[in-house]
Amino acid sequence: MKSRHVLTGFVVLLALAPLVLPTFQVTLLNYIGLYALVVLGLVLLTGVGGMTSFGQAAFVGLGSYTSAYLTATQQLPAWLEWAAGSPWLSLLIGILLTATVALLLGALTLRLSGHYLPLGTIAWGISLYYLFGTVKTLGGHSGISGLPPIELFGLELDKGEKMFYLIWAILLLAMLVTQNLLNSREGRAIRALKGGQLMAESMGVNTFRSKMVVFLISALFAAISGWLYAHNQRFVNPTPFGLSMGIDYLFMALIGGVANVWGALLGAGILTMAKQWLQDLLPWLLGDAGKYEHIVFGLLIILIMHRTPGGLWPMLMKLAPAKLRQRKQLLPEAGAVGTPDLPRRDLPEKGELILQAKDVTRQFGGLVANKEMNLEVHAGEILALIGPNGAGKSTMFNQLSAVDTPTSGEVLFRGQSLKGKSSREVATLGMSRTFQHVKLLPTMTVLENVAIGAHLRGNKGVISSALHLERLEETSLLQEAKRQLERVGLGDYLYEEAGSLALGQQRILEIARALCADPCLLLLDEPAAGLRHKEKQALADLLSKLRSEGMAILLVEHDMDFVMGLVDRIVVMEFGEKIAEGLPEEIQTNPAVLEAYLGGAD
């Protein structure tokens, strides 16, 4: 049984449902479809992007009210008369309006960190809700009634059984589009938002833009759901667009499984059905004096979230037969014939000055972590930065990679000052790095993790990704990731989860990712830490080979054996200052260095 067959079966069952089920059940399925569309947006926003929103119901309201106002108001103002009466035209206007509002709200709130973002979403959720209830032309608390049914190919969708098909077709389409998007270059950038922003920025990803994209998509899904809802009910009032519904949507996402497209459907289904059953069952058990269902419901949610923090979908998949769970082979088996190679940067001439630190000083309050540091790295050369613990190496590394800004002095990369440049801009110029504490996305495959490194070498955007029109470029990017993985010796692990690799392999993965950016300078922070002897040997061979191809490499490293046999020159730091510089054999006999290491901490 393949997942494709399961999917086909599901669609066939869906198509038959309105023909065999009683109206009441079809209505319930319609609600599930409408909710699932909103929750799908939350899967993207909260589950994948890591941004919690309580305000989605307000976007549903925006879609609903726009259409209600334009199609059912008796006397529209003259300037709006052209838009009167047509649900499809008002859908378009609703989408444009929602996009505008979402861009504004996103610009205001997405830069907020921690708890401020959810609080911000509550704030706008409440204000839009009250707006719907107080504006006279929107009917106040009694709302707007008499909405026309949607017409499709001359057919009036005036019954739940007919709306069913439109609702579920749109939902399935939205799920497909979301799935496509997630499996693309843009999608990898989005998936890096949760837990990998610093890494993604240094690979050239504009993380704020990615946040905006998912925020916008989730708002649009909600607005479209609102539009469908309005024309399904044929009337609107503010109640279903309040904060409590916003919280319900979030619950649905959490219960279903926040990081999966199918989790949206599962969560919406379970919550809607459970509510229904409890409403029927509890009065029968306990008498209908109190609203017990709310209490029992709350308890159930707590129980589920406690038992399955990742939601029910991942749990369900564990029970499913192995074939259904297989990771998608992203690349054509035999290697893609006819995939163009990605364009490469012209490497600088051997010996050309690539990186230069000039009197770099970095103070943290009274502590001088780097003091008037000078160093140079040339094309086709490996420079090691060594020193005991706390000497200031990592701080220096951050100045060189534009993660941090020197208190005084400057860093020049290929002649350009890095002052005021973001790590993203530096990546564009051809600098690529690894991290002392490995930064990768543990649940993504090794191949996808490495492909993030190639982000700047593609340019296909959100829409072509969602519509699957970027396959050629996508294959080139993945092919490049595969090539780099084979080059560093991880070719056997393409479809493993990155988090399942040994630490040493994860470090090597980071090098492959850095190489994917086609850099002319590699900055490596302790690349040999955690590697076994053989792996170190292989890494040294790889770095030598890169050097012979003209790459400039700077590495911070503890392992003296590794450094001495490999590098061209060494800069030694202690207490934030350079205490020695020279060839490995000079450094090994330098009295100041021996003193620092023997008398020092390490």
Q: Contact between 394 and Mg ion (CB under 5 A)? A: yes
Please choose, out of 197-205, 236-244, 317-325, 383-391, the segment that lies near ligand ADP by the rule CB under 6 A: 383-391
Give the residue carrying structure tokens 């040339």.
Answer: 378
Question: What whole-number distance in Å separates Cα of residue 427 and Cα of residue 51?
Answer: 26
Q: Contact between 185 and ligand ADP (CB under 6 A)? A: no
Q: Contact between 394 and ligand ADP (CB under 6 A)? A: yes
Classify the phi-psi angles of 52: left when phi > 0, otherwise alpha if psi is within -120 to 50, otherwise beta: beta
Binding mask 15-34 for ligand ADP (x = CB under 6 A): --------------------
Closer to ligand ADP by CB, 158 or 404: give it: 404
Closer to ligand ADP by CB, 88 or 364: give it: 364
Please choose, out of 5-13, 258-266, 393-401, 589-597, the segment that lies near Mg ion by the rule CB under 5 A: 393-401
Question: What whole-number distance in Å separates Cα of residue 435 and Cα of residue 40?
Answer: 33
Structure tokens at 503: 């630490």
Q: Contact between 389 and ligand ADP (CB under 6 A)? A: yes
Q: Which does 364 bind (CB under 5 to 8 A by kind): ligand ADP, Mg ion, none?
A: ligand ADP
CB of 178 vs Mg ion, minimal distance in Å:
40
Structure tokens at 216: 């916008």
CB of 354 vs ligand ADP, minimal distance in Å:
22
Give the residue carrying structure tokens 């379970």.
Answer: 270
The count of other CB atoms within 10 Å of the CB of residue 564 is 16
Binding mask 342-381 for ligand ADP (x = CB under 6 A): ----------------------x--x-x------------
Q: Which does 430 bind (CB under 5 to 8 A by kind): ligand ADP, Mg ion, none?
A: none
CB of 574 vs ligand ADP, minimal distance in Å:
9
Closer to ligand ADP by CB, 391 or 446: give it: 391
Closer to ligand ADP by CB, 231 or 393: give it: 393
Q: Which does 188 bind (CB under 5 to 8 A by kind): ligand ADP, Mg ion, none?
A: none
Q: Contact between 207 and ligand ADP (CB under 6 A)? A: no
Q: Which does 392 bind (CB under 5 to 8 A by kind): ligand ADP, Mg ion, none?
A: ligand ADP
Q: What is the DSSP letter of 365?
A: T
CB of 206 vs ligand ADP, minimal distance in Å:
25
CB of 397 vs ligand ADP, minimal distance in Å:
7
Closer to ligand ADP by CB, 362 or 421: give it: 362
The count of other CB atoms within 10 Å of the CB of residue 358 is 16
Q: Contact between 390 and ligand ADP (CB under 6 A)? A: yes
Question: What whole-number distance in Å separates Cα of residue 134 and Cα of residue 138?
Answer: 8
Q: CB–CB of 447/330 below 8 Å?
A: yes
Please choose, out of 59-67, 187-195, 230-238, 392-400, the segment that lies near Mg ion by the rule CB under 5 A: 392-400
CB of 388 vs ligand ADP, minimal distance in Å:
7
Q: Contact between 406 and ligand ADP (CB under 6 A)? A: no
Q: Which of 211, 231, 371, 393 binds ligand ADP (CB under 6 A)?
A: 393
Classify the phi-psi angles of 489: left when phi > 0, otherwise alpha if psi is within -120 to 50, otherwise beta: left
Give the residue carrying structure tokens 């496509």.
Answer: 180
Question: What whole-number distance in Å separates Cα of residue 447 and Cα of residue 259?
Answer: 19
Q: CB–CB of 354/553 below 8 Å?
A: no
Structure tokens at 101: 């509002």
Question: What whole-number distance in Å separates Cα of residue 240 and Cα of residue 222?
Answer: 12
DSSP string, 537-574: HHHHHHHHHHHHTT-EEEEE---HHHHHHH-SEEEEEE
Q: Contact between 395 and ligand ADP (CB under 6 A)? A: yes
Closest C-alpha to 161, from 39, 52, 27: 27
Closer to Mg ion by CB, 394 or 506: give it: 394
Count Cβ neighbours within 10 Å for each residue of 463-486 and write b for 16 or more, e otherwise. Answer: ebbbeeebeebbbbbbbbbbbbbe
Please choose, out of 149-157, 375-383, 388-396, 408-416, the segment that lies near Mg ion by the rule CB under 5 A: 388-396
- Give the containing element (helix H, strand E) for 33: helix 23-42
Size of site (CB under 6 A) for ligand ADP: 11
CB of 576 vs ligand ADP, minimal distance in Å:
7
Question: What whole-number distance in Å separates Cα of residue 452 and Cα of residue 475?
Answer: 13
Structure tokens at 200: 């993604």
Query: How far is the first Cα of the chain from the last one, in angstroms, to the nearest whole number?
Result: 58
Question: What whole-number distance in Å separates Cα of residue 401 and Cα of residue 418?
Answer: 9
Phi/psi for 574 (5° steps) reads -150, 140
Q: Which of 392, 453, 519, 527 binds ligand ADP (CB under 6 A)?
A: 392
Closer to ligand ADP by CB, 390 or 491: give it: 390
CA atoms lying within 13 Å on the CB side of residue 545: 9
Q: Contact between 434 and ligand ADP (CB under 6 A)? A: no
CB of 393 vs Mg ion, minimal distance in Å:
5
Radius of gyration of the chain (CA): 29
Q: Which does 145 bind (CB under 5 to 8 A by kind): ligand ADP, Mg ion, none?
A: none
Q: Contact between 387 and ligand ADP (CB under 6 A)? A: yes
Please choose, out of 176-184, 207-215, 316-324, 390-398, the segment that lies near ligand ADP by the rule CB under 6 A: 390-398
Q: Contact between 391 and ligand ADP (CB under 6 A)? A: yes
Where do contacts with Mg ion occur on this chain (CB under 5 A)? 394
Where do contacts with ligand ADP occur on this chain (CB under 6 A)? 364, 367, 369, 387, 389-395
